[in-house]
Structure 1
Amino acid sequence: MKINLSQLIQGQKGIIEDFDIDHVPLKLLEMGCLPGNEVQLLQVAPMGDPLYLLVNDSHLAIRKETAQAIQVTISDAS
């Protein structure tokens, strides 16, 4: 099932499937937010923004708006 990254539940893992290149900064792509890579939602800030993620053994904080442009498939290993 494809959902956007902002819909993951804390602790849940997903595989990046696709993203809207117009809304995802190049820096995120350079840090491993690419199709086929696993992402895990570690924590959500108290007001719901930003999201704290684990991608390729790197910890990233991204805005919810950006996370909505990244499509993931929920991983069975969640």
Structure 2
Amino acid sequence: MKTLRDVPVGATSKVVRIHGEGALKRRIMDMGITKGTELYVRKVAPLGDPIEVTVRGYELSLRKADADILEME
């Protein structure tokens, strides 16, 4: 399973599935990340947390735990 953390900087990938339950999954979906959404990885911090992505025309920073529940194409 390829997660958002596996996508290299400068690459675009599509969300296949959002793993997880409850509040964490709902929070990710409220940010506009749903199945089929394309994410462009802009930057990754030196220690890997946070990851900055572009989704639906705006920039978003995600923690490692959030990136791990996103299964990518």
Whether these two folds match at TM > 0.5 is yes
The number of residues matched between the two structures is 72
RMSD over aligned Cα atoms: 1.6
Q: CA deviation at 1:27?
A: 2.9
> One-letter code of the match for 1:61?
S
> One-letter code of the match for 1:68?
D
Matches of 1:58 and 1:28, distance apart in 2: 14
Cross-structure match for 1:76 = none
User: Alpha-carbon deviations, 1:24-76, whole Å to 9, x = none?
Assistant: 44232122110011001100011111100001112110111110110011xxx
More helix by share: 2
Cross-structure match for 2:27 = 27
Compute the TM-score of the two structures, normalised by the length of structure 1: 0.82
2:28–2:66 contact (8 Å) kept in structure 1: no
Gap regions ≥5 residues in structure 2 = none
More strand by share: 1
